[in-house]
Structure 1
């Protein structure tokens, strides 16, 4: 089904006034599927706050390995980006520009998936996995935008009527 489940859930959330979790639950009661709610939450926040970007640096300490990669972030779990080793500092690092939002990731060290205990960790997800995560706030975001983005990407996110109207206006501008 590809992206169709997420499109249906987003439509129910943005246009039909369902809470996001209610829309997902209703869809799942009709058909087994896997809508990516995090993508809908981030798209909602992007529409309402605009898209600003920030540069992040991820690091892995240690010279006792031959490759370090990262997976997750904005590329998904099926892709990997190699980190660069700095011999002088004994650190692997990756600089990457990301849009505002929360990103989960894991390191892949010599082919083995690992988390960095010195960086922020998620709670165990539905599969019991614990990942690293990073919150990105670009230069253009202010305190109100950060708070709005945090609310909209939370577990029980919902929209106010004013926010729904703003999303409808946005969609109508690009529908022509």
Structure 2
């Protein structure tokens, strides 16, 4: 619910995102994800198209492989399907343009795939895999980058 309140303040009431966040935090300690709100704003206002993405985990020496992060957040998991012919666990998903971090959970153990791009350590020292989904429309990408860079509300007439 805090993210909904923050988004309402940002989208409807015209607060700068950081101002809305500080006001919300002064009333209630919570942890809404500012980057997720910026991403959703960019997706809605620019109409970013989804692109197919395939993620794979190699090996048949495990019983379950899941992914967390991506567009579903760190509290959710998506199971990968095992392709016996190729000996790969795969996930086919359509994602809007953007940068997505994720991690594999192999038999309950969180890990990165060393054969896919890996982030630098974050403030907590964690590293994740990531995928960049690129679009075809330079104007929508440019508008999304402008929205993600600042914290001021951007309206359709600004695009």
TM bracket (short chain): 0.7 to 0.9
For residue 126 of structure 1, report the CA deviation from its aligned partner. Answer: 4.0
Query: Cα RMSD between the aligned structures?
Result: 2.6
Q: Which runs of 5+ in 1 are unaligned?
A: 168-176
Q: Aligned residue for 1:158?
A: 151
Q: Aligned residue for 1:142?
A: 137
Aligned pairs for 1:123-134 (under 5 A) are 123-134=120-131
Q: Which runs of 5+ in 2 are unaligned?
A: none
Assess, with a 3 A threshold, how the Cα gap between structure 1 residues 6 and 80 changes in structure 2: closer, same or farther: closer
For residue 151 of structure 1, report the CA deviation from its aligned partner. Answer: 3.5
Assess, with a 3 A threshold, how the Cα gap between structure 1 residues 47 and 67 changes in structure 2: closer, same or farther: closer
Q: Give the TM-score, by structure 1 length.
A: 0.74
Measured in 2, the distance between the counterparts of 1:12 and 1:79 equals 26
| Segment of structure 1 superposing worse, 122-131 or 40-49 | 122-131
Match of 1:32 among 6, 29, 32: 29
Q: Give the TM-score, by structure 2 length.
A: 0.80
Give the number of aligned pairs.
158
Residue 10 of structure 1: SS of its match in structure 2? helix
For residue 81 of structure 1, report the CA deviation from its aligned partner. Answer: 1.9
Match of 1:110 among 103, 107, 110: 107
Assess, with a 3 A threshold, how the Cα gap between structure 1 residues 152 and 134 changes in structure 2: closer, same or farther: farther
Q: Aligned residue for 1:14?
A: 11
